[in-house]
Chain A
Amino acid sequence: MASVRLEEFLQPISRALEHTHVPESVKPYDTFAGPQRELLAHATQEDCIALLKQEAQALGTLVREATPETTAQVITDLVKELEGADVVFADSPEADRYDIPQALAAAGANAYRWDAQNPQESIAQAEKAQVGISFAYGAIAETATVVQESTKNSGRAICLLPEAHIAVVKKKNVVARMVHILDQLEERIANKEVLPSNITFISGPSNTADIELVRVVGVHGPVHAAIVLVDE
């Protein structure tokens, strides 16, 4: 006997709780209120941007600021700094709105647009690329975290396989704490929106301290991380 049916699996749990059956509802518990709302409760947008920059520095994440007009230039400069000859970027409307593909091409980078029609090629290009560029859902100031959703136009591999990851975030989408992003997700669920298959909270380059607690940056994920804050 390997797996059992859910009803059968639940029986011993109900018994342990002295329930005659699995209840239809539970006494509500307030997960909204609590200490998570007190921290940074009065942070303004400016405070959040300043905090994000400070925390990013601590993590070793590069931060650049841009306007919609300068974003392409800021990104090509970053790509040069990160020595990216091969670049993979998400097939998002922002990429074109900011003229990123043209700017990368003009700068001599071999830029590949993520292509849901060519899954194998997309993965192969992400593996080959030194730099991956994605457009984040938002960011968290307290931990310099970018919140990245996976979609068919923006695969998980873009922010994971290349040696460097550049996340483009709109300044207005920077929040103080994780709970504020989670609130937004709760609202989307309440509006019957289906969650993306993957939302990753990315904070700095991948790292480990598994050998004698010596911190090493760049394990399975990116070795370098950068955030471009766009003022729009």
Chain B
Amino acid sequence: MGILYDQAPLKDKVERALSDDFKHHAIETAQDVITQKRQALVDQVENWEDFREKAAEIRNHVLENLDYYVKQFAQNAEAAGCTMHYAPTAEDAIDTILDIFDELGETSCVKSKSMMTEEIGLNERLEEHGIHPIETDCAENIIQTAGDAPSHIVVPALHFDRNAIRDLYRERKGYTGTNDPEEITHFLRTMLRSEFMNAHVGITGCNFGVAETGSCTLVSNEGNARMASTIPETQIIVMGIERIVPDLRSLDVMMELLVRSAVGAKITSSFSLNTGPAKPGEVDGPKTVHIVMVNNGRTNILASKYRPMLRCIRCGACMNTCPVYRHITGHGYGSIYPGPMGIVLTPLLVGYSKAEKLPYACTLCGACSDVCPVKIPLHDLILKHRIDMVRLGYTPAVESSLFTAGAKVFSNRLLYEIATTVGAPGTQILTGNSGHIDSGSVWIPVLNGWTYSRDLDVMKHKKFRTQLAEYQKQKQNRHQDQEDA
């Protein structure tokens, strides 16, 4: 599948997403639930902003010295007994992994959730070569069984309701139970347990690679990442070069931020720190560990003004708070990386010609930058994309079709109200201190349209969530009024 799974025009993707009520509603609920849980926990951490600052500093320090740290990580992982592989491109990573399977003579494996393997399109390529990868994360298994694409980076199967999931497993896997999420989950436990116990190869990602020890960490609630690194004799870890932290101590700051930001919990049920293969005499754990480090365009990002994007720890907080994501859902973006982080990252990985108008699926409200645990100025980078698209001549096509493409989203009342009342840093960039959109920004197609068609009472300094809650209350009242009438 690779990074882009839907290359239909943005307009079509958005239309499709907007017309799917269930999907739409599921994402709204997910955003509300996760955001509220996250906020409650963040409010308890009085020095949360210091944590964000520290995390951004740690990530920056690694990026500024990435050649040093990749080397240190690689050498220490090798010293710990891992077999290292270095893949400049996605294709190289695929070839490397296929070679490992060829050498082992294995034709199947268990997999735990990994964005890096999705980025390189690993599953399809394994299948093409007669190797069957079994996704063991519940959501990923649902998506794999359905042959569908993820709609979120942390909870990727939200767009399926319980009935659809029940029917899917009835049809494809002999499930005979009800639509109860607990019953379905326990069916998956039993079904996948036997896959784990018979597996010889486990493929996992890596949340953080520790340079000073060559360790790889895995963050998981379901325990499947632990299973994949306990039972199979061979573990293949696929990781981007930017996953590194300098030392073990840095993991505290990262975990404090990652779990709260991702799922609105203090901690996941397991966090594993794996260093090399099992030691001689150990009964379980992989006898062989292959680490495939992947560049796949990251050095281009490193050399560019988009470098802060490489700080990303894949928590999904930006999409959980994004008003556009709320409406067009993950599928509106057509990329495995959706939402604000996806808008920044996708064009950097696939180029403007393929990423099409993604940087315009954004209101520049800046809510994403406010929640980002590593302080990536996401909306600012999105704006930079738009500037670069103009500079590189991608604008005419955009301008000509922008309003047909984005009309539904951008004329949507909810979106408009949110986008125009947030008063976040993004809008401040455009407005300076005046609170009005200045003439320097009218060239931006989306805003151009807005400034002509909407009045400019737009820059109230209010928190996005407050605004949203107020709006929904109003909406409810309106419904109530209508019903009463």
User: Using a CB–CB distance below 8 Å, which chain A residues touch chain B?
Assistant: 1-6, 8-10, 12-17, 19, 22-23, 25-27, 29, 31-32, 34-36, 38-39, 55, 114-116, 119, 122-123, 127, 142-143, 145, 150-152, 155-157, 160, 177-179, 182-183, 185-186, 189, 195-214, 216, 218-222
| Cβ of B87 under 8 Å from chain A | yes
Q: Which residue of B lies closest to A25 (CB)?
A: B68
Interface of A is mostly: loop
Contacts A13-B302, A207-B222, A211-B184 given; 7 further ones with Cβ under 8 A?
A: A2-B92, A3-B95, A13-B299, A179-B249, A210-B185, A211-B160, A212-B181
Check A210/B157 contact, CB under 8 A, given A36-B256, A219-B188: yes
Q: Are B249 and A200 in contact (CB under 8 A)?
A: no
Contact between chains at B274 and A35 (CB < 8 Å): no
Produce 1/0 per residue, B27-71, CB < 8 A to A: 001100110000000000101001100100110010011111111
Does B251 make an interface contact (CB < 8 A)? yes
B192-A220 in contact (CB<8A):
yes
Max chain A Cβ within 10 angstroms of own Cβ: one of B58, B137, B227, B292: B227
Question: Per-position contact with A for B78-104: 1 when CB-CB < 8 Å, else 0?
Answer: 001000111110001001100100000
29 A-B pairs whose Cβ atoms sit less than 8 Å apart in the complex: A2-B85, A3-B85, A4-B87, A9-B88, A12-B88, A13-B66, A13-B67, A13-B70, A17-B303, A22-B68, A29-B246, A31-B250, A35-B51, A36-B256, A116-B282, A145-B267, A152-B280, A152-B283, A157-B231, A157-B284, A195-B80, A200-B226, A206-B221, A209-B263, A210-B137, A211-B185, A216-B186, A219-B221, A220-B223
Q: Say if the beta carbon of B285 comes within 8 Å of chain A.
A: yes
B20 at the interface (CB under 8 A from A): no
Interface 0/1 of B124-156, CB less than 8 Å to A: 000000000000111100100000000000010
B269-281: contact bitstring with A at CB < 8 Å (1 yes, 0 no)?
1111111111111
Q: Which residues of A contact B193 (CB under 8 A)?
A: 220
Docked Cα-Cα span, A115 to B213, in Å, equals: 29
B470 within 8 A of A: no
Are A182 and B184 CB-contacts (below 8 A) given A39-B45, A116-B281?
Answer: no
Interface contact A220-B222, CB-CB below 8 Å: yes
- Inter-chain CA distance A179–B256, complex, in Å, is 10
**Closest CB-CB distance, A166 to chain B, in whole Å?**
15
* CB of B221 to closest CB in A, whole Å: 5
Taking a contact as CB atoms under 8 Å apart, the answer to whether B213 and A4 are in contact is: no
**How many whole Å from B320's CB to the nearest CB in chain A?**
12
Is B395 in contact with chain A by the CB < 8 A criterion? Answer: no
**CA A12 – CA B299 in complex, angstroms?**
6
Interface string of B177-188 (1 = CB under 8 A from A): 000011011101
CB-based A-B contact count at 8 angstroms: 286
Instruction: Indicate if B293 sits at the interface (CB-CB under 8 A).
Output: yes
Nearest residue in A to B286 (C-beta to C-beta)?
Answer: A197
Residues from chain A with Cβ under 8 Å of B299 in the complex: 12-13, 15-16
Please report the C-alpha to C-alpha distance between residue A145 and residue B263 in the assembled complex, in whole angstroms: 17
In the bound assembly, the distance between CA atoms of A123 and B285 in angstroms comes to: 11
Given A12-B88, A182-B249, also A205-B158 (CB < 8 A) = no
Q: Measured between alpha carbons, how far is A22 from B182 in the docked complex, in Å?
A: 52
Chain B residues, CB < 8 A from A143 = 266-267
For B252, the closest partner residue in chain A by CB is A179
* Residue in A2, A29, A55, A221 whose Cβ sees the most chain B Cβ within 10 Å: A2
| Residue from A35, A142, A203, A207 within 8 A of B54 (CB atoms) | A35
Q: How far apart are the CA atoms of A148 and B246 in the complex, in Å?
A: 23
Contact A26 B68 (CB under 8 A): yes
In whole angstroms, how far apart are the Cα atoms of A166 and B291 in the complex? 32
Q: Nearest Cβ distance between residue A127 and chain B, in whole angstroms? A: 7
Whether, in the assembled complex, B469 has its beta carbon less than 8 Å from a beta carbon of chain A, the answer is no
- Chain B residues positioned under 8 Å from A22 (CB to CB): 67-68, 71
Q: How near does chain A come to B458, taking the closest CB pair, in angstroms?
A: 33
Residue of A177, A208, A211 touching B162 (CB-CB under 8 A): A211
Q: How far is the CA of A17 from the CA of B241 in the complex (A)?
A: 14
Residues of A within 8 A of B26 (CB): 212
Give 7 closest A-B pairs by Cβ, nearest first.
A221-B223, A9-B86, A2-B95, A35-B50, A16-B303, A206-B223, A179-B252
Q: Is B268 an interface residue (CB 8 A)?
A: yes
Asked if residues A150 and B137 are in contact (CB atoms below 8 Å), the reply is no
* B456 lies within 8 A of chain A by Cβ: no
CA of A202 to CA of B26, assembled, Å: 30
Q: Is B224 an interface residue (CB 8 A)?
A: yes
A5 to chain B, nearest CB (A): 7
Q: Is the CB of A2 within 8 A of B96?
A: yes
CA of A146 to CA of B162, assembled, Å? 33
State how many angstroms separate the Cβ of A61 from the closest Cβ of chain B: 10
In the complex, chain B residues whose CB is within 8 Å of the CB of A210: 137-139, 142, 155, 157, 185, 222
User: Shortest beta-carbon distance, A1 to chain B, in Å?
Assistant: 6
Q: Is B468 positioned at the interface, with any CB of A under 8 Å from its CB? A: no
Instruction: Check if B185 sits within 8 Å of A197, measured CB to CB.
Output: no
**CB-CB < 8 A to A122: which residues of B?**
283-284
Give the residue among B61, B142, B162 with the most A Cβ atoms within 10 A: B61
Which one of A19, A151, A205, A208 lies within 8 Å of B185 (CB-CB)? A208
User: In the complex the two chains form, what is the Cα distance from A221 to B279 in whole Å?
Assistant: 23
Please tell me if the beta carbons of A221 and B269 are within 8 angstroms of each other in the complex: yes
- Contact call B212/A218, Cβ cutoff below 8 A: no
Q: Which residue of A lies closest to B143 (CB)?
A: A210
Asked if A160 meets B253 with Cβ closer than 8 Å, knowing A13-B67, A38-B47, A220-B192, the reply is: no
A2-B95, A9-B295, A189-B212 as given contacts; A216 in contact with B274, CB under 8 Å: no
